[in-house]
Amino acid sequence: MLKIKFLNLILSLTVFSAIASSVSAAEMKEQHSTRSPQFQKIEQPLALKIGLTAGGLALISAQLWWFLFSKPKSQNAETSDGVQEVSITVDGGYSPSLVTVKRGQPVRLNFIRRDPNSCLEKVLFPDFHIAQDLALNTTTPIEFTPQTVGNYQYSCGMGMFHGAIAVEE
Ligand SMILES: [Cu+2]
pLDDT tens per residue, range 26-36: 555 555 545 55
Going from the Cα of 92 to the center of ligand 1, the distance in angstroms, rounded, reads 10
Cα-to-centroid distance, 117 and ligand 1 (Å): 8
- Ligand 1 centroid distance, CA of 67 (Å): 23
Distance 114 CA to ligand 1 centre (A): 14
* DSSP code per residue over 13-69: HHHHHHHHHHHHHHHHHHHHHHH-TTSPP-PPPHHHHHHHHHHHHHHHHHHHHHHHH
Distance 27 CA to ligand 1 centre (A): 50
Residue 44's pLDDT is 75
How far apart are the CA of 159 and the centre of ligand 1, in A? Answer: 6
Annotated domain spans of the chain? 2-69, 74-168
Q: From the CA of 101, how far away is ligand 1's center (Å)? A: 25
**Is residue 168 scored above 90 in pLDDT?**
yes
Top-tier CATH class for 74-168 = mainly beta
Over residues 92-109, the pLDDT tens digits come to 999 999 999 999 999 999
CA of 157 to the centre of ligand 1 (A): 5
**What does the mean pLDDT of the chain come to?**
81
- Measure 158 CA to ligand 1 centroid, in angstroms: 4
Q: Kindly report the pTM of this predicted structure.
A: 0.61
Q: Which amino acid is at 17?
A: S
Ligand 1 centroid to Cα of residue 155, in Å, is 8
The pLDDT assigned to 98 comes to 97
Check residue 132 and give its pLDDT: 97
Confidence of residue 25 (pLDDT cuts 50, 70, 90): low
Query: In the structure, what pLDDT confidence band is assigned to residue 63 with cuts at 50, 70 and 90?
Result: confident
Average of pLDDT values for 78-102?
95
Rounded to the nearest angstrom, the distance between the alpha carbon of 119 and the centre of ligand 1 is 3
How far is the C-alpha of 169 from the C-alpha of 166, rounded, in Å? Answer: 10
In this model, does residue 41 exceed pLDDT 80?
no
Write phi, then psi, for 162 (nearest 5 degrees).
Answer: -130, 150
